[in-house]
Amino acid sequence: MVKTRESDLIGTSIEDSRAAGLRMLDGRSILVTGGTGSFGRRFVETVMRHAKPRRVIVFSRDEFKQYEMQQRMPADWAPTLRYFIGDVRDRERLELAMRGVDFCVHAAALKHVPAAEYNPMECINTNVYGAENVMRAALSTGVRRVIALSTDKAANPINLYGASKLAADKIFIAANNLSGALDTRFSVVRYGNVVGSRGSVVPLFRKLIDQGADHLPVTDERMTRFWITLQHGVDFVLSCFAMMQGGEIFVPKIPSMRIGDLARAMAPDLPLKLVGIRPGEKLHEVMITEDDSRQTYELSDRYVIEPAFAFWQHAPYEGLDARPVADGFRYASDGNDDWLDGDRLRALLAEAS
């Protein structure tokens, strides 16, 4: 495998990488699976505003969400945007959608932890077999770069959702063994909870507050989570397109917060009611395990977990001050050195509104 970076595009500072990723998309075709989800919509909007793509393909299975998305997008974007109804469970449909595609972001997944526990095969069919379908379709159609979205729950998973995403991560990393002479490369982006995303606790708390609730339900006041804004997640993925060599797991440095502190920041006058941890939930989340530390490098704004496969020829990120982490390093939400206080949280919530 040729280990080259888009050296003519990426600058020597980490701040250049998002802009470099956007420049890479000029004149190219991009496909986003799960394109009508929170991430997909923001990704498409960001690319259309700041790059000059040839085509942007929204691939999802909900025609009504596609219709709603079309209505929200500016009319002058219509010639560039394409809406493909399809499911990642259907490899043939993916192959049709990926013809002529240069870049793919795989964001489609079943993400609700209790729903995955109750419907295990549906979770596996979408998150595991769907990942394999995306990988095979990308190889067969010659997509240049694929980035798959992962989750902190994929590290040391205790629930099926996390386990299915760990399996998907392994599929995409190992896919670089199958590229051969093809230019197709696969990498993974792993990050924590998105502030304000559909299904997260923030919209739930907002709904209860707006309805005049007399308390907020909290699973466990000690529970901690990593937090990232939707735009930060999109920008991070774009920056990884410019940096990826194929096989890495990119992990952003993001703040942690206790769930109890979140509830108090959103409704300081409401009491909290402990309701207990749901099936499959962790008290704290981990994004880099001790075992991963042996292949992990630290940059100014992220960590990079390199693959252990023989195809990987380590080439440090020149000019970006990459350095190996200490053996036994662990990046967990309860051991983070960056914590959100009330003011920073309120600023994040305002940004996510």
- C-alpha closest to that of 148 among 302, 31, 25: 31
Query: Which tokens sit at 271?
Result: 């009491």
SS3 state of residue 151: coil
Pure H helices in 51-190: 63-72, 91-97, 113-118, 120-124, 130-141, 160-174
* Three-state secondary structure string covering 247-306: CCEEEECCCEEEHHHHHHHHCCCCCEEECCCCCCCCCCCEEECCCHHHHEEECCCEEEEC
What is d(CA 184, CA 61) in angstroms, rounded to the nearest whole number?
25
Residue numbers annotated as active site: 153
For residue 323, give Cα distances in angstroms to 298, 304, 307, 326, 330. 5, 10, 16, 9, 15
What angle is formed at CA 148 by the lines to CA 145 and CA 153, rounded to 5 degrees? 160
